[in-house]
Structure 1
């Protein structure tokens, strides 16, 4: 395995932090995503998700080559991609409304907690992807968890803004 694969897969060694490396990976995704969003806006952030997915797929394949464990806990690039998908509706809303994205902090919190819940409990399609036992499955389970979390964030935002306010 190359150092580059390890750097990408562990997100610069964040994946070695204990306990709960997946949670650390999800946490580090937020400031990195924020910086990307601040530098280039929503569409650069979306491009970063796609690039990170493919680089993560490659790194995961390299790091798991020849191993029985298809999803070692130190690989957290999948959490970064999933967390970015989960937070994307918040960044989109900030862009659309032309407001400071930090004002939408409840969305940040919801995206983080919902993504972690879907990633940990692996309902339905998340579990299906995880059972693939390959590098693509490692990435896809978090992509699907991120999509579920993003949809949930949208539902919660709609409920809050349409029903409560």
Structure 2
């Protein structure tokens, strides 16, 4: 249970108040940068996949026998969603040989859009959240991350078109 708690709360980040989900998203950004610097986009993708499955397991362990399927201290789902949201930046940096830190406006956009979609829960994000199980906890942030990534790409396209 200790390992599950460490994974699910991102080493205790989920206990920060207020807004533990926002703290989880914020804490995940330097880790995404580090993965990208060490291994580029492929390592970030591998990190997303590994964090998803470890997060799913940890969430299931922490919520086993509880009525609360998504306690606020579980923020590993925010890490996965936030990493998906910054993935377009990693892809562009990796493919074009650009220092990922020069795309700082994209990092801010990814953070803001991910938090927006995670809180608002439109369409399939809300559907996943309403599943009421550990997979739903993880999937709603995956979908929010995908929407945020698409918004980052759209904003980059608009910015670079003008």
Relative to the length of structure 1, the TM-score reads: 0.97
C-alpha RMSD over aligned residues: 0.5
Gaps of 5+ in 2: none
How many correspondences in the alignment? 162
| Residues 1-165 of structure 1 aligned to structure 2 (within 5 Å) | 2-162=1-161, 164=162
Runs of at least 4 residues off by over 4 Å: none
Displacement of 1:68 in angstroms is: 0.4
Deviation by residue 1:11-62 (Cα, 9 ceiling, x = unmatched): 0000000000000000001001111111111101100000000000000000
How many Å apart are 1:80 and its aligned residue? 0.1
Q: In 1, Cα distance between the equivalents of 2:104 and 2:92?
A: 12
- TM-score, normalization by structure 2: 0.99
| Structure 1 unaligned residues grouped into runs of 5+ | none
Name the CA distance, whole Å, in 1 between partners of 2:103 and 2:33: 12
